């Protein structure tokens, strides 16, 4: 084969493999890296069987292209890009193994028209060869971590079944167009392609619909799980607000609460509710009362270096500057992990100052924007929830004004809310909405938050829910990774599809068997038709020869069944009898052609032969127009029939000429040709009969010899013709003188 044609052949096979593979993977039921129906496996096997092992590069290239797209679509990266090479190698080795097994156990080229060859091809050799690609592909995916360990067995089974059924479906279709020998496959093309193509089209539609149903089911299940997670988080945020309100009530109800009492109050909440970084109290301190406040705090808290501090933009702390009022952290629990924030004037923190202004204005809990807490050591984002606290029963000089707060490390708060309720495969991302930004500031969870219109590799859209918390707008985004779909797989869709695939595979095997049988029957019919035509031609030739022989021998044949009235006359019989060829070939018409004087004798003979008498032969005279007086020799015999009766058959030969010749020969043997008188032979026979009669009756016999005198002179002088006329005249005159019992003969010559 020229190099250019070889390249075109390889390119065509590779494109067909890759195109069918991409379609199969795109319509596959989620989740997974493999498809339950993979016709490229059948394309590879059929191509290698038909074109030979030299087309392996096309199989490798087609498989690699298919899986490059699959790796990219699955969102795999890094070392996972070695997967196309592994899958391509597995596809080539599988095709090699399939060809070897089929050539050994089935034989190829093979018309696949018997149950044995079909079973060995599709249900023994092909499934065994499919173990190779499934083992290599799923093994590589498992080693690379692309397929969860708990799902490896199912993925292997799905891969193997997809390849096996792909062979069962694709090979018959390919063989119908390019199978060898063509004389065995071309007649079966429509019988295979139309039903299989229709079934495959319906199956693809079913797979697409099942895929949509499965995605809808997974999406619904994910949304239910996401709603559950969202409720857990919103419930936990509501609990934090409850802690804040409890602290506000305590500080209003017990304005003289000391450090130890506050620690005891906060401890009950800290032990019951996870995710709380700190619970605290922030009094309003007038600038004129700063020194007295700091002195009192040192005495009450036992912290000898307590002072009001300001926080800089970089998080650094330094003694507060003089101003009209301060909002230092006076109580904070637990103190050990939050000692750094003790005494900090939170009004110097912009995010906290903004939240305090809002709660001061409306008296509702207000959350700050996310920032790094003063006591933070790991760089996590924190949020502080503030609540204004006023003792309305006292006059302003003695009124207790300030704020209670609950500080949260958002990551820990979310984690504590979900602890014990984690759903494998679901990722969360909590962001803080900032005006004008499409993606808000990250608070907790996965760093990369998918957009609302993003679709995951498993086809699931993320759950996005806005959350209002203390006047701040947050967004909770929940998405899935491939493991979620693996864990939530529904077997109903796979079972339905497996049944459909198995049925179409069985249909393919059935069509191969039936079309093969039909082809064999058609070949047999054609062969028998040819043989019958040859036999018919030979019969016609033999009939023509028989007719010609009958015409030469003036011999016609006939057959008559008195019961079924099935009769037959040969063409020569019609001519001999002198009847039209459209005359029914009945015994009645046969008898009608016989001379009336011979007809009864023929009828009696027919009856006797039919009743078991051996065959008979007799001469009959004809009476048909133009044949009147002709003599025919009729031969009759009987053959037993299946109904117990006898079928009469025989021949009719025109013996008129032979009988005339026989009579002439007899005449020449016993009579003188010239005078017509008996010759010496007949005279001697008659004389012996007369002598025997005379002896028996004791009578006498007289013999008289006559001779013509001088007859020789007549011949010599007048010639022999005159002498012959003389002899004839003498014989005539003498005959007239005889009696009936007298014999006149010419003994001379």
- Does 30 have pLDDT greater than 60? no
Q: Is the pLDDT of residue 144 over 80?
A: no
- pLDDT reported for residue 396: 44
Q: What is the pLDDT of residue 394?
A: 47
**Phi, then psi, of 436 in degrees rounded to 5:** 90, -10
- Reading the block at residue 372, the tokens are 């790094």
Q: How many CA atoms lie within 13 A of 741 on its CB side?
A: 5
The whole-angstrom separation of Cα 43 and Cα 12 is 11
Distance of alpha carbon 215 from alpha carbon 148, whole angstroms: 20
% of the chain at pLDDT higher than 70 = 91
Model confidence over 200-248: pLDDT tens digits? 788 778 777 777 777 788 888 888 998 999 999 999 999 999 999 999 9
H/E element, 634: strand 631-640
pLDDT score of 438: 62
Contact status, residue 606 vs residue 636, Cβ threshold 8 Å: yes
Tokens at 198, concatenated = 């229709």
The CA angle 596-599-603, to the nearest 5 degrees, is 160
Q: Which two tokens stand for residue 655?
A: 């013996």
**Range with the largest mean pLDDT of 148-152, 296-300, 327-331:** 327-331
Q: What is the pLDDT of residues 151-178, one digit of tens each?
A: 788 788 888 888 888 888 888 889 888 8
Please tell me the least confidently modeled range out of 227-236, 451-460, 575-584.
451-460
CA pair distance 740, 742, nearest whole angstrom: 6
Q: Is the dihedral of CA 43, 44, 45, 51 positive or negative?
A: positive
Q: Cβ atoms within 10 A of the Cβ of 5, count?
A: 9
Q: Is 467 helix (H, G, I), strand (E, B) or coil?
A: strand
Report yes or no: 308 and 298 within 8 Å, Cβ to Cβ.
Answer: no
Q: 315-329, 376-390, 630-644 — which one is most confidently predicted on average?
A: 315-329
pLDDT, tens only, 527-571? 898 989 998 888 888 888 877 877 787 788 888 876 666 788 888
pLDDT for the residue numbered 257? 87
Question: Encoding tokens for residue 43?
Answer: 């394309």
Q: What is the dihedral of CA 65, 68, 73, 79, to 10 degrees?
A: 170
Q: Which range in 133-142, 672-681, 718-727 is most confidently predicted, on average pLDDT?
A: 133-142
What average pLDDT does the structure give for the chain?
Answer: 84
Choice between 453 and 304, residue whose per-residue pLDDT is larger: 304
Identify which of 113, 90, 110, 114 has the alpha carbon closest to the alpha carbon of residue 102.
110
Looking at 103-107, 288-292, 421-425, which range is the least confident one?
Answer: 421-425
Residue ranges per structural domain of the chain:
3-180, 221-236+419-487, 239-409, 554-661, 690-736
Q: Per-residue pLDDT for 92 more than 80? A: yes
> Is pLDDT of 344 > 80?
yes
Q: So what's the pLDDT on residue 639?
A: 81
Residue 87 contacts residue 71 (beta carbons within 8 Å): no
Neighbours of 89 (CB within 10 A): 18
Tell me, what's the pLDDT at 461? 83
**Is residue 301 scored above 90 in pLDDT?**
no
pLDDT at 241: 92
Highest mean pLDDT, choosing among 185-194, 198-207, 322-331: 322-331
pLDDT at 355: 93
pLDDT in tens, 349-390: 999 999 999 998 888 999 999 998 888 878 788 999 999 987
pLDDT of amino acid 300: 85
CA distances from 67 to 13, 86, 88, 129, 704 (A): 16, 10, 8, 20, 136
Distance of CA 370 to the CA centre of its chain: 60
pLDDT at 629: 78
Range with the largest mean pLDDT of 179-188, 338-347, 449-458: 338-347
Residue 341, classified by CB atoms within 10 Å of its CB into exposed (0-12), middle (13-18) or buried (19+), is: buried
Which parts of 409-490 fold into alpha helices (H)?
410-418, 482-487
Omega before 382 within 30 of 0, i.e. cis: no
Which tens digits make up the pLDDT trace of 691-744? 888 889 888 888 888 887 777 777 778 887 887 787 788 878 888 888 878 888
Q: What is the pLDDT of residue 644?
A: 60
pLDDT of residue 397: 40
Q: Read off the pLDDT of each residue in 293-317 and give the average, rounded to a whole number.
A: 87
CB 159 within 8 A of CB 90: no
CATH class of residue range 554-661: alpha beta
- Given this chain, do its domains 239-409 and 554-661 carry the same CATH topology? yes
Is CATH 3.30.450.350 correct for 239-409? yes
Residue 359 near residue 387 (C-beta atoms within 8 A): yes
Q: What CATH number does domain 3-180 carry, 1.10.357, 1.10.1760, 1.10.1740, 1.10.8? A: 1.10.1760
Residue 647 backbone phi and psi in degrees, to 5: -100, 125
Environment class of 206 (CB within 10 Å of its CB; exposed 0-12, middle 13-18, buried 19+): middle
β-partners of residue 618 are 634
Q: Is the pLDDT of residue 399 over 60?
A: no
| Residues with Cβ within 8 Å of residue 353, at least 6 apart in sequence | 346, 347
């Amino acid at each position: 084969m020229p190099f250019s044609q070889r390249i075109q052949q390889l390119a065509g096979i590779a494109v067909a493999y890759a195109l069918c593979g991409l379609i199969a993977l795109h319509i596959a039921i989620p989740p997974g890296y493999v498809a339950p129906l993979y016709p490229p496996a059948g394309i590879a096997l059929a191509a290698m069987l038909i074109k030979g092992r030299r087309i392996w590069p096309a199989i490798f290239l087609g498989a690699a292209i298919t899986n490059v797209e699959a790796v990219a679509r699955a969102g795999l990266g890094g070392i996972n890009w070695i997967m196309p090479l592994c899958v391509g190698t597995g596809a080539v080795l599988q095709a090699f193994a399939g060809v070897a097994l089929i050539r050994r156990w089935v034989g190829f080229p093979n018309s696949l028209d018997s149950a044995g060859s079909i079973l060995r091809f599709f249900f023994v050799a092909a499934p065994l060869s499919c173990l190779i690609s499934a083992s290599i592909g799923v093994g590589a995916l498992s080693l690379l971590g692309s397929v969860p360990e708990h799902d490896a067995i199912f993925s292997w089974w799905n891969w193997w079944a997809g390849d096996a059924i792909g062979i069962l479906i694709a090979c018959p279709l390919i063989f119908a167009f390019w199978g060898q020998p063509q004389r065995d496959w071309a007649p079966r093309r429509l019988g295979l392609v139309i039903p299989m193509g229709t079934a495959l089209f319906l199956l693809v539609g079913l797979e697409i619909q099942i895929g949509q149903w499965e995605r809808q089911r997974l999406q619904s299940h994910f949304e239910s799980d996401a709603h559950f997670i969202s409720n857990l988080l919103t419930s936990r945020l509501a609990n934090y607000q409850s802690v804040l309100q409890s602290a506000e009530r305590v500080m209003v109800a017990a304005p003289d609460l000391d450090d130890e009492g506050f620690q005891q109050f906060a401890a009950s909440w800290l032990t019951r509710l996870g995710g709380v970084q700190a619970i605290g109290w922030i009094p309003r301190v007038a600038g004129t009362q700063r020194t007295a406040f700091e002195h009192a705090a040192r005495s009450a808290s036992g912290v000898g270096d307590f002072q009001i501090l300001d926080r800089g933009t970089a998080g650094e702390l330094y003694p507060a500057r003089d101003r009209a009022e301060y909002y230092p952290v006076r109580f904070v629990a637990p103190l050990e992990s939050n000692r750094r924030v003790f005494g900090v004037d939170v009004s110097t923190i912009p995010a906290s100052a903004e939240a305090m202004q809002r709660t001061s204005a409306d008296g509702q809990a207000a959350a700050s924007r996310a920032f790094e807490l003063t006591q933070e050591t790991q760089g996590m984002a924190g949020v502080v929830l503030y609540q204004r606290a006023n003792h309305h029963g006292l006059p302003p000089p003695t009124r207790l004004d300030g704020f209670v707060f609950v500080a949260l490390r958002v990551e820990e708060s979310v984690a504590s809310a979900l602890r014990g309720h984690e759903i494998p495969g679901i990722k969360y991302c909590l962001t803080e909405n900032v005006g004008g930004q499409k993606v808000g500031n990250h608070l907790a969870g996965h760093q990369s938050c998918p957009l609302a219109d993003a679709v995951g590799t498993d086809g699931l859209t993320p759950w996005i829910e806005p959350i209002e918390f203390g006047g701040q707008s947050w967004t909770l985004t929940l998405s899935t990774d491939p493991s979620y779909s693996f864990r939530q797989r529904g077997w109903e869709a796979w079972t339905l599809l497996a049944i459909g695939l198995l049925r179409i595979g069985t249909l393919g095997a059935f069509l191969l068997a039936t079309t093969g049988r039909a082809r064999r029957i058609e070949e047999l019919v054609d062969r028998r038709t040819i043989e019958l035509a040859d036999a018919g031609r030979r019969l016609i030739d033999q009939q023509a020869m028989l007719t010609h022989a009958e015409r030469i021998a003036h011999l016609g044949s006939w057959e008559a069944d008195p019961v079924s009235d099935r009769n037959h006359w040969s063409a020569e019989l019609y001519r001999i009898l002198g009847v039209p060829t459209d005359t029914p070939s009945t015994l009645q018409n046969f008898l009608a052609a016989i001379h009336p004087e011979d007809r009864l004798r023929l009828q009696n003979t027919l009856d006797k032969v039919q009743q078991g008498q051996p065959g008979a032969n007799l001469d009959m005279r004809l009476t048909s127009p133009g044949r009147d007086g002709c003599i025919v020799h009729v031969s009759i015999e009987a053959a037993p029939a299946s109904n117990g009766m006898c079928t009469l058959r025989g021949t009719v030969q025109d013996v008129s000429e032979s009988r005339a010749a026989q009579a002439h020969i007899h005449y020449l043997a016993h009579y003188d040709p010239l005078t017509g008188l008996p010759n010496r032979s007949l005279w001697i026979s008659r004389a012996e009969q007369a002598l025997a009669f005379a002896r028996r009756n004791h009578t006498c016999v007289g013999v008289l010899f006559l001779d013509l005198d001088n007859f020789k002179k007549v011949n010599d002088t007048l010639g022999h013709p005159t002498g012959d006329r003389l002899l004839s005249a003498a014989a005539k005159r003498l005959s007239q003188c005889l009696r009936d019992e007298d014999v006149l003969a010419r003994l001379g010559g």
